[in-house]
Structure 1
């Protein structure tokens, strides 16, 4: 039975083969499986955590290939819906330092992709937690499904972790994006967001300010890329630095962090809220998973196993 139920995008990231240039100068692209929902589910699978993904893909070759990718990471695909629309492709340009930017969709004239039309099917199992990619709120039908999933999970008393995942290119109405995302965050217990997303939503990237505006949040992760992560878990608040690695592509690093954290939360549960040493260990683990994910092109190409993470951490200097 899956321990984590994920709801989010499963798509193809079309990474520019040339770095440090604008979209109109890119000469060629390479496709990598992506989407935060898929990235988290596959990251969990690589770490040996059983997960299921609710997502929509097209009835096309690209959709079938995504199912194969998910299954190769031991992700349950029973809740993937194959719909009569195209599977989404997202164009991604990269800086010479590996930082990425989502710049458009392919084909550019397509208005309807499969991921926007997923409907709610009540799961026939009860997971230990639910992960939701807030970007699903951008599409009316997928938004309705998201709210149904939230209500279902809250009725079951489940932990819900939301990744804000603000991607302006997906939204036609940015004011609506902000109000819907805030509405979602007021219903859940855990959030992962970047400093930029915090400024957008809360006009502040200060943890205390965020918590004042959403006082029921028990887990706040404010990720800052190479600068590490600010966190507030229960009564604990602090900063965990990022590991220095040979970064090639940062696509999906935040998703890898979420997968690493959920692996630890499933291992130790609420003990993390009351044990500072265990909490520090869990943050160290999640940060290592995130760092390792950036050492290859594509969000899940280097999704690490437990053994890989352990070997990496054992080679780091003691704190």
Structure 2
């Protein structure tokens, strides 16, 4: 069955503490993954979303699949790998309150994701194929899986969205740029933060970089600005949307939430300014709650949290 969104990548078990891990204490268990965060965001807004990835045949892999199913994300094409482990992510806070992330992913199932693992899901079809720069950073096989999905998805008529999502802990900027530039050139929508955009295109300033991507055939270049909102460059010019005022609880997952909102509005056929608006609304909802995706709204809730650009999200 063709879905609204197909996304592929790594989803891990996530343990969250309120202080330094070395002090012990309680940890809350959930899941985390950039691509699955987007899938959950779209599913909550009523879109048909499918996630494909590779998890271990272990309790944490079962947690990943169970949680995604509970959020109405289709995981029928996911691979459960016997004898392999599911990755783990631990969040804590350093003295002073700064959030930290500690990864336990080396050699885990997601690092073995290959084209054969995603081919069936791509063949089923999707209106939007969403990939990020995290998956190709996991190794040669995951990078090949992303390249295959982008080429096959584009050939099948899917709109391809690349969220650059650079993770310095996984690879340096030079290597990331070499891999991500061809992916960006093959995408229809490119989403990046201000500091990530130079990874996928050259230019003396942001506008020139966006124009370079548009000249390559990218339809929309979306720039996330955090507390200053977001912008989108298209063939008709630049569009800006301010951020929503909100009491920040947890910034993890804000970028994924924005992307989910933007793609939701795209799937609904809304114009670029409305896509940006929905994106910043979901980003605000994400940072107002604990967790990667837990604070994302349903379609019914979306109308109640929009407000004006300077409204406080409650």
Residue 125 of structure 1: how far off its partner (Å): 2.1
- Note if 1:283 corresponds to 2:283: no
The worse-fitting range, judged by mean Cα deviation, of 213-222 and 157-166 is 213-222
Match of 2:302 in 1: 309
Q: 1:154 to 1:253 in 2, by over 3 A?
A: same
CA contact (8 A) 1:97 1:247 kept: no
Match of 1:152 in 2: 152
Secondary structure of the structure 2 residue equivalent to 1:13: strand
Alpha-carbon separation, structure 2, partners of 1:24 and 1:227: 35
Residue 60 of structure 1: how far off its partner (Å): 0.9
Q: 1:205 to 1:159 in 2, by over 3 A?
A: farther
Residue 24 of structure 1: how far off its partner (Å): 6.3
- Note if 1:116 corresponds to 2:111: yes
- Note if 1:176 corresponds to 2:175: yes
Alpha-carbon separation, structure 2, partners of 1:308 and 1:48: 12
So what's the TM-score if we normalise by structure 1? 0.85
CA contact (8 A) 2:240 2:273 kept: no
Alpha-carbon separation, structure 2, partners of 1:98 and 1:151: 43
Secondary structure of the structure 2 residue equivalent to 1:150: helix
CA contact (8 A) 1:218 1:233 kept: yes
Residue 158 of structure 1: how far off its partner (Å): 1.7
Q: Deviations over 1:30-66 (max 9, x none)?
A: 3331111110111111111101011111111011001
CA contact (8 A) 2:202 2:212 kept: no
Alpha-carbon separation, structure 1, partners of 2:239 and 2:89: 35
CA contact (8 A) 1:46 1:303 kept: yes
Q: Deviations over 1:139-167 (max 9, x none)?
A: 11111111111111121122100111111
So what's the TM-score if we normalise by structure 2? 0.87
Unpaired runs of 5+ residues, structure 2, are none
Determine which structure has greater relative contact order: mean sequence separation of CA pairs < 8 Å that are 6+ residues apart, divided by chain length: 1
For 1:138-287, what aligned pairs fall within 5 Å after superposition? 138=137, 139-171=139-171, 174-202=173-201, 206-214=205-213, 215=215, 216-268=217-269, 272=271, 279-287=272-280
- Note if 1:132 corresponds to 2:131: yes
CA contact (8 A) 1:98 1:248 kept: no
Match of 1:275 in 2: none
Secondary structure of the structure 1 residue equivalent to 2:186: coil
Residue 89 of structure 1: how far off its partner (Å): 1.2
CA contact (8 A) 2:44 2:296 kept: yes
CA contact (8 A) 1:98 1:250 kept: no
Secondary structure of the structure 2 residue equivalent to 1:128: strand
Q: 1:64 aligns with which of 47, 62, 71?
A: 62
Alpha-carbon separation, structure 2, partners of 1:200 and 1:287: 23
CA contact (8 A) 2:38 2:256 kept: yes
Residue 99 of structure 1: how far off its partner (Å): 7.2
Q: Deviations over 1:65-109 (max 9, x none)?
A: 01011001111101211123221112334589987554x323xxx
Unpaired runs of 5+ residues, structure 1, are 273-278
Alpha-carbon separation, structure 2, partners of 1:205 and 1:59: 48
CA contact (8 A) 1:211 1:217 kept: no
User: RMSD of the alignment, in Å?
Assistant: 2.6
Secondary structure of the structure 2 residue equivalent to 1:268: coil
Alpha-carbon separation, structure 1, partners of 2:280 and 2:150: 27
CA contact (8 A) 2:261 2:278 kept: yes
Alpha-carbon separation, structure 2, partners of 1:197 and 1:298: 23
